[in-house]
Amino acid sequence: MRLGPGDEERAAAVLLHPAVVDRLFDDSDVPTRDEIRGVLSDESFYVLMPAEGAILIASPLVYASLVVHQAAVPQIRGKAVVQAGRLAVRWMFDNVGSCQKLVGMIPDYNPPAIAAAKRVGFAIEGCITGAVLRGGKLHDLVVLGLSRGEV
C-alpha cells in the first residue's frame, strides 16, 4: 500500500520507533513529524507499507534510478521484513515505469539490514567511506543495488 498525506501517524510509528531510530539514523538525521508529513505530501517520493510495521521509501537518485530506504519495527524483522521488501521492490518496478535500478545505502553498523537487503535480491556494489556520523564516530555506507531485470 502506498502512503500519502494523512498517513503521518502510521509512518511515524515505524520511523520514530526507538529500535528503528537506533539502527536507521545517524546523530543528526532523525526526522521530525513535519518532515515525515512533507515526504508523504511530495509526489516525487514513494512511501510504501508492504506490511504493517515496515516502510520502504524511494526517491529519485539520478536518471532511471531510485534510492530506497527500508525500516521495520522489531516485531517483523527476519523473514517478514524480507517478504515485505520483495513486495515493495516488485511494486516499484511494476508501478514506476522509468525505474530501472534501486539503490540502497546502509550504514556498516547495521549488518542485519545488509543481510536482509541481500535476501531481498540486492547486491553489494560499493562503499562510501566515512559518510555517517553515529555516536561521534564516522561509519561507512554500504551501497547495494538491484536492477529491474534481476527481480
Between strands 101-107 and 65-72, the pairing is: parallel
Between strands 46-51 and 2-3, the pairing is: antiparallel
Cell readout for 68 is 530506497
Phi, psi of 128 (to 5 degrees): -110, 110
Domain limits for position 83: 2-150
Cα separation, 93 vs 151, whole angstroms: 9
> Which tens digit of pLDDT belongs to each residue from 85-99?
999 999 999 999 889
Task: Going residue by residue through the chain, which has 151 residues, state the pLDDT in tens, using 9 for 90 and above.
Answer: 899 999 999 999 999 999 888 777 777 778 889 999 999 999 889 999 998 999 989 998 888 999 998 888 988 888 888 999 999 999 999 999 889 999 999 999 999 999 999 999 999 999 999 998 888 899 999 999 999 999 7
Contact 51, 80 (CB under 8 A): yes
Cα separation, 103 vs 19, whole angstroms: 23
Contact 88, 125 (CB under 8 A): no
Q: In CATH, what number is assigned to the domain containing residue 14?
A: 3.40.630.30
- For residue 35, CA distances in Å to 27, 38, 68, 135 come to 16, 5, 17, 23
pLDDT at 1: 83
pLDDT at 23: 76
Cα separation, 130 vs 94, whole angstroms: 35
Number of separate domains in the chain? 1
